[in-house]
Structure 1
Amino acid sequence: MALKRMDNVGIVVEDLGRAIEFFGELGLELEGRATIEGEWAGRVTGLGDQCVEIAMMRTPDGHSRLELSRFVTPAVVADHRNAPVNALGYLRVMFTVDDIDETLEKLGNRGAQLVGEVVQYEDAYRLCYIRGPEGLLIGLAQELR
């Protein structure tokens, strides 16, 4: 057995259009949108008959993808968006950006809020967490070398 690659990270959202706009502003490209429905899809997820609108967003380098999903049916059963970063099983997505200050300004215009502060790790990175659309936790890193 050999792992070939990580295909994508999935995030469930309420407002798919708003999430697409936000991650587009960050620099991801919309690769495609689709509605996935039917009993076959529910066999994969264990949710039974389902209907999900998805959008696949691709990073500029083409190596990573973010799958945004909005469940039409069944209804969403839990909400972990505002959980702190140390919550069990909680995920955040980290992106490397050219200029963290410029990115914060641009995303702030779309409602992003800084969680703590921008910090510098040695001479290697400037880092921060933000809350994006719907309170999603997103990490930003700026390489300094």
Structure 2
Amino acid sequence: MTIKRMDHVGIVVEDLTAATEFFVELGMELLGEGPAEGAWIDGIVGLDDVRVDVAYLRTPDGQGAIELTKFRSPLAGTAEPSAPANTLGLRRVMFTVDDIDDTVARLQPMGGELIGTVEKYGDSHRLCYLRGPQGIIVSLAEELS
């Protein structure tokens, strides 16, 4: 048996609206949002009395997706929201964009904070890390050729 595809990345957030708006401004399409609760979700996540609000977003090419989840019950645990990029665990999500400077400029008023600087990688890409809502690190790449 082989993997058919990677379906989506799940991100737990406190402010679902702000996180959704951030990823929509990045260029993702909001496919759906709403609540989920019941025995089926309790069983999946291994917690009792789970009540969540979820937003599901897709990249314009239809190949990647993000599921943003706000836990209403039980409340989400806390993690260091500004953990550095070398912290163990899932740390970032990368997107290829048309214009990295424009993307950074559009996301900064929404709380996007450039972690370092925009750098050129050889002759192929310009790259940067941007911290978004709840400390989510978004890596951006602009193809140069």
TM-score (norm 2): 0.96
Aligned residue for 2:42, secondary structure, equals helix
Is 2:84 aligned against 1:96?
A: no
Correspondence 1:98-113 to 2 at 5 A: 98-113=98-113
CA distance in 1 between partners of 2:7 and 2:90 (Å): 19
Matching of residue 85 in structure 1 with residue 105 in structure 2: no
Superposed displacement of residue 112, structure 1: 0.8
Letter paired with 2:26: L
Unaligned 5+ residue runs, structure 2?
Answer: none
Percent identical among aligned pairs is 52
Unpaired stretches in structure 1, ≥5 consecutive residues: none
Moved over 4 A (4+): none
Q: What are the superposed Cα offsets for residues 85-138 of structure 1, whole Å, 9 maximum, x if unpaired?
A: 111113210110000001111111212110011111100110000111222111
**Contact 1:97 / 1:142 at 8 angstroms: preserved in 2?**
yes
Indicate the residue corresponding to 2:27 in structure 1.
27
After superposition, give the CA deviation of every residue in 1:16-44 in whole Å (9 maximum; x if it has no partner).
Answer: 11111111110001000121111221111
2:112, 2:132 within 8 Å by CA — same for their partners in 1? yes
Distance (Å, rounded) in 2 between the aligned partners of 1:90 and 1:22: 19
> How many positions carry a matched residue from both structures?
145
Matched, 1:136 2:136: yes
Contact 2:83 2:135 in 1 (8 A): no
Distance 1:123 1:142 in 2: 11
The 2-side partners of 1:126 and 1:90 are apart by: 22
Aligned residue for 1:58?
A: 58
Q: Please give the root-mean-square deviation of Cα atoms over the aligned residues, in Å.
A: 1.0
TM-superposed deviation, 1:66: 0.5
Preserved contact between residue 117 and residue 128 of structure 1 (Cα < 8 Å): yes
- 1:63 and 1:111 map into 2 onto residues whose CA distance is 26
